[in-house]
Amino acid sequence: MTTTASSKSIYVALFFGVAAIVAGLDLWSKDTVFEFLKVVEAGNPPRVVSQERYEVIADFFELEANYNRGAFAGMFGGHTGMLALLSAVAVVIIFTMFIVFWRKPEGPGFLFTLALSFLWGGTIGNLYDRYYLGAVRDWIKWFFVTGEGATRTEHVWPNFNVADSGICVGVSLLIILEVRRAIQEKRAGKATVKA
């Protein structure tokens, strides 16, 4: 099925629009939350020296600022330059994927475009921090508590931000699309065998 030029322009608007919203919301929220928590930082790359804590949902969700010099949970923390380079490469690859699929007669499709736009916006948000600050600003803290008093223990998911959330949404959409495609191919294969 061939997509019209006007339909393809909708994909372009969707790709750039959603990516801009994700990256813009990420950078705005980082600035706003770090200011709200009165973060005092030191060093280069920076680290949080002090902050005010803000509990959103008791024993479950707090705003807590920190700088992550690595990737997920601080992995590869000593390689900020490499991570910035990988992020820049990812930005180029995601954009190239969109262009390649956009040029196909059927276009990239709504969900595929949405997935790439979430990935692109999230990657740009974190790339900005890595390049300009040397570390990514995280502020969303999810956790649960077991025990009470002396046995109280917090089980914390590594802090994250809006960009990380955008990347997770994009990856999830790509997985859903791939699973759906595999199911459709399997059904088509069964229908061919029956015929």
pLDDT digits (tens, 9 = 90+) for 119-166: 999 999 999 999 999 899 999 999 988 888 888 888 888 899 999 999
Catalytic residue list contains 31: no
Q: Which of 26, 31, 59, 138 is catalytic?
A: 138
Task: Give the chain's mean pLDDT.
Answer: 88
Predicted TM-score of the model (pTM):
0.84
Indicate if the pLDDT at residue 45 is higher than 90. no
Q: Which of 26, 31, 59, 164 is catalytic?
A: 164
Q: Are 159 and 64 in contact (CB under 8 A)?
A: yes
pLDDT digits (tens, 9 = 90+) for 23-32: 999 999 999 9
Helix, strand, coil percentages (3-state) for the chain, rounded to 5, are 60, 20, 20
Catalytic residue list contains 164: yes
Three-state secondary structure call for residue 101? helix
Nearest to 134 by CA among 82, 175, 98: 82
- Residue 183, judged by CB atoms within 10 A of its CB (0-12, 13-18, 19+), counts as exposed
186 alpha carbon, distance to own chain's centre:
31
Q: What pLDDT, on a 0 to 100 scale, did the predictor assign at position 191?
A: 65
Confidence grade of residue 106 (pLDDT, cut at 50, 70, 90): confident
Q: Are 15 and 98 in contact (CB under 8 A)?
A: yes
